[in-house]
Amino acid sequence: GAAGPVPRDLAGRHVVVSAGGTREPIDPVRFIGNRSSGRQGVALAAAAAARGAQVTLVAANLAADLTEPLAAAGAAVVAVASTAELRQAVRSAAERADVVVMAAAVADFRPAAPPTAKIKKVAGAAPAPIELVENPDVLAELAADRLRPGQVVVGFAAETGDDGASVLDHGRAKARRKGADLLAVNAVGENLGFVTDVNEVTVLDARGETVTSVAGSKREVADGLWDAVAKILPSM
Say how many residues touch ligand CTP, by CB under 6 A.
12
Residue 108 as a binder of Ca ion (CB under 5 A): the answer is yes
4: left (phi over 0), alpha (psi -120 to 50) or beta: left
Q: Which is nearer to Ca ion, 9 or 108 (CB)?
A: 108
Of the candidates 92, 86, 90, 109, which has an alpha carbon nearest to the alpha carbon of residue 101?
A: 90
CB under 5 to 8 A by kind: which of ligand CTP, Ca ion, none does 80 bind?
none
Residues 6+ apart with CB under 8 A from 203: 182, 183, 184, 185, 210, 211, 212, 213, 214, 224, 225, 228
Catalytic residue among 34, 61, 186, 191: 34
For 68, the 3-state DSSP assignment is helix
Q: Please tell me whether 138 is known to bind a ligand.
A: yes
Residue 80, beta-bridge partner list: 60
Nearer to ligand CTP, 75 or 86 (CB): 86
Candidates 9, 27, 85, 108: give the one binding ligand CTP (CB under 6 A).
Answer: 108
Q: Provide φ and ψ at 202, rounded to 5°.
A: -110, 125
Interaction between residue 106 and ligand CTP (CB under 6 A): yes
Q: Does 226 bind ligand CTP (CB under 6 A)?
A: no
- Interface pick for ligand CTP out of 10, 15, 102, 222 (rule CB under 6 A): 102
* Nearer to ligand CTP among residue 7 and residue 200 (C-beta): 200
3-state secondary structure of 78: strand
Smallest gap from residue 108 Cβ to Ca ion (A): 4
Q: How far apart are CA 147 and CA 29, in angstroms?
A: 35
Active site residue 191: no
Size of the site for Ca ion (CB under 5 A): 1
φ, ψ at 217 (rounded to 5°): -65, 170
CB of 108 or CB of 169, closer to ligand CTP: 108
Stretch that binds ligand CTP, among 65-73, 124-132, 154-162, 200-208 (CB under 6 A): 154-162
The distance of closest approach from Cβ of residue 23 to ligand CTP in the complex, given in angstroms and rounded to an integer, is 13
Q: What are phi and psi of 151, to 5 degrees?
A: -65, 135
Determine the Cα angle at 159 with ends 220 and 56, to 5°.
Answer: 50
Binding-site residue set: 108, 118, 136-139, 156, 174, 178
Residue positions annotated with a catalytic role = 34
Residues in the site for Ca ion, rule: CB under 5 A?
Answer: 108
